[in-house]
Structure 1
Amino acid sequence: MRIAFVGKGGSGKTTLSALFSRHLARAGAPVLAVDGDINQHLAEALGHDGPPLDAPPLGAHLKAIKDYLRGTNPRIASAEAMIKTTPPGRGSRLLSLLGDDELHTRHVRHVGDVPLMVTGEFDESDLGVACYHSKLGAVELYLNHLVDGPGEYVVVDMTAGADAFASGLFTRFDMTFLVAEPTRKGVSVYRQYRDHAREFGIRIAVVGNKVTGEDDLLFLKQEVGDDLLTHLTQSPYVRAAEQGRAQGELEPQNHHALNVLRDSVDAHPRDWPRLHRHAVEFHLRNARAWAGEDLASQVDPEYTPGHIPHS
């Protein structure tokens, strides 16, 4: 299952991404965390300390990723012809979660008990010539070619605000958790997400964060209604971890909230044909607009999503 954490900058989405990833890993579930935020703080939130993590960024290896994933697909002549929304077809290299393959071997590093991939930072060489979503294209291609099964999880910490809708990546998830603080600014992004998500049939749930009492909870309920799934309270455990003095255990209320998140994800098995149809529709809808050409020929009408063929 693919899960995105989104929200306004400072809402705590990176912290929630890390807490949920560790929660799954400690329960013995196969999980992969992906840092898709321009600020690239997920490794720190997972507990990495010291020199920068030596994970090769996905965004810096986009051509190699395209070359690998296109495999022998006859509809994709070259890596240059492949764009970030290109769906898989017969002959494409499909991935199992954390499989023994070139892509996972090169890009996955462990932070504690959580495997992590990173998109890479937006640096000076990108200024004026690229946008951060070009780096996120590698994540979109990865998810397009991933055949993950029940009880397997990919947790992506997305870029802040409504920027997540600037690419087709937001359609690649089974569940999107919008993290919101109990303030007007905290819920300001919610309506944008709700409207875009409904247009594409994306499941979205609000997770209240930094809740201090009944007034905070009532505010969130009034602002987001039934979309409020659960909430986390102000956490001394999280604050201590952020200050580099992690101690004790996560508070019972907050641990319960993480269980609610997992239960919500597990309650809706994936509809593979629908997921692939979304990928194809978004590819055709957007590729012509910015690529300036008809890329319909990249879509394989005979491709069956949801399984890796035996060679």
Structure 2
Amino acid sequence: MGAVKVAFVGKGGSGKTTLAALLARHLTEQGRPVLAIDADINQHLAAALGGPVGSAETASPLGERLPLIKEYLRGRNPRIGSAAEMVKTTPPGTGSRLLRVVENNPVYASCVRTVNGVRLAVTGEFTAEDLGVACYHSKVGAVELLLNHMLDGPGEYVVVDMTAGADSFASGLFTRFDRTFLVCEPTVRSIGVYRQYAGYARDYGVALSVVGNKVEDATDVEFLREHVGQDLLTWVSRSTYVRRAERGTVGPLDELEAANRAVLGQLTDAVDRTAQDWEAFTRWAHEFHRRNAAAWANERAGADLTTQIDPDFRMGAQTFNLPTAVTA
């Protein structure tokens, strides 16, 4: 059993939030350590998990606690002069604080709450005050920072509901995941999003699996196979359980249709078979930090932020034994 960061992506309305919630609940019910994160511009994961609307509002949105997140993660890293010099792509180094999926720390205390048994953090809604003056990716930057510093151990899971379409390629966030599930309806528009995402992902070695959704018959499955080929892992049939959930009534998982419940097992098996590539994780973290530094971050900080990259530091199993990196 591995430790995996999982992303759910897809066209708006494809059902990615519903499936992200179902997998997070399935893993949690099995007693596995899970942290769910709502990184969608439309914040619906708490409701999809079965909490009342606004049930996660007692926790601070990650986007509102960036100063706390930066100060905590900076730790004693000598390459980072102040929390203000940290940007969304700042990678960990010797002396940084690394996060475990389940632990006590100020970030989780402020930003994580339990919704229907699942531990959840949210980026925060795009508010009226943000219109015309803010980019949603500034909020998602908090998620990127967390995942850059996330040292998930064996049998631990981070499940992230991403923003719809190919928007996640506006940052390096898409390279932070070990397994990406693209939820795809048997429609031309949904296939279009798949092709766009798969084209980008292929260039970066992203492990991508397609999960069909709203499948009614064999012709739907045939359509998906024709257009996504071997990327098709499994599919979810039309579901009265899901329809009730989308109307606000989230029942116990044992009420989910047997065939669709089996899909959650298939997703779990795919996740558990996924090998973490910490070398690639580190390499892309450094690459996207260099790109962001050159594009905008150096000018904003008035400093060369590429000096934050610690060439001798690598995330991975060996990092668990570095007390200077993993601190409370």
Normalised by the length of structure 2, the TM-score is 0.92
Find the aligned partners of 1:203 and 1:180 in 2 and give their Cα distance. Answer: 16
Matched, 1:262 2:262: no
Give 1:1-311 correspondences, 5 Å limit: 1-49=4-52, 51-53=54-56, 54-247=58-251, 249-293=255-299, 294-306=304-316, 307-308=319-320, 309-310=322-323
Secondary structure of the residue aligned to 1:197 is helix
Find the aligned partners of 1:255 and 1:283 in 2 and give their Cα distance. Answer: 40
Runs of 4+ in structure 1 off by over 3 angstroms are 244-248
With 245-254 and 171-180 compared, the bigger mean Cα shift is at 245-254
Amino acid at match of 1:304: R
Amino acid at match of 2:5: R
Find the aligned partners of 2:250 and 2:123 in 1 and give their Cα distance. Answer: 27
CA contact (8 A) 2:77 2:94 kept: yes
Find the aligned partners of 1:298 and 1:239 in 2 and give their Cα distance. Answer: 48
Find the aligned partners of 1:271 and 1:136 in 2 and give their Cα distance. Answer: 23
Secondary structure of the residue aligned to 2:103 is coil
Normalised by the length of structure 1, the TM-score is 0.96
With 128-137 and 285-294 compared, the bigger mean Cα shift is at 285-294
Find the aligned partners of 2:54 and 2:5 in 1 and give their Cα distance. Answer: 29
With 166-175 and 278-287 compared, the bigger mean Cα shift is at 278-287
CA contact (8 A) 2:6 2:160 kept: yes
CA contact (8 A) 1:72 1:91 kept: yes
User: Residue 246 of structure 1: CA displacement?
Assistant: 4.2
Residue-by-residue CA offset, 1:213-240 (whole Å, 9 max, x unaligned): 0011111111111111110001111112
1:59–1:51 Cα change, 3 Å: closer
Unaligned regions of 5+ residues in structure 2, if any?
A: none
Find the aligned partners of 1:255 and 1:158 in 2 and give their Cα distance. Answer: 22
User: Residue 129 of structure 1: CA displacement?
Assistant: 1.9
Q: Percent identity?
A: 59
Root-mean-square deviation over aligned CA pairs: 1.4
User: Residue 169 of structure 1: CA displacement?
Assistant: 0.7
Aligned length: 311
CA contact (8 A) 2:6 2:179 kept: yes
User: Residue 241 of structure 1: CA displacement?
Assistant: 2.2
Find the aligned partners of 2:53 and 2:101 in 1 and give their Cα distance. Answer: 28
User: Residue 266 of structure 1: CA displacement?
Assistant: 1.1
Unaligned regions of 5+ residues in structure 1, if any?
A: none
Find the aligned partners of 1:275 and 1:88 in 2 and give their Cα distance. Answer: 12
1:60–1:44 Cα change, 3 Å: same
Residue-by-residue CA offset, 1:158-210 (whole Å, 9 max, x unaligned): 00011111111111000111001111112120111111101111111110001
Find the aligned partners of 2:228 and 2:195 in 1 and give their Cα distance. Answer: 8
User: Residue 259 of structure 1: CA displacement?
Assistant: 1.0
Secondary structure of the residue aligned to 2:47 is helix
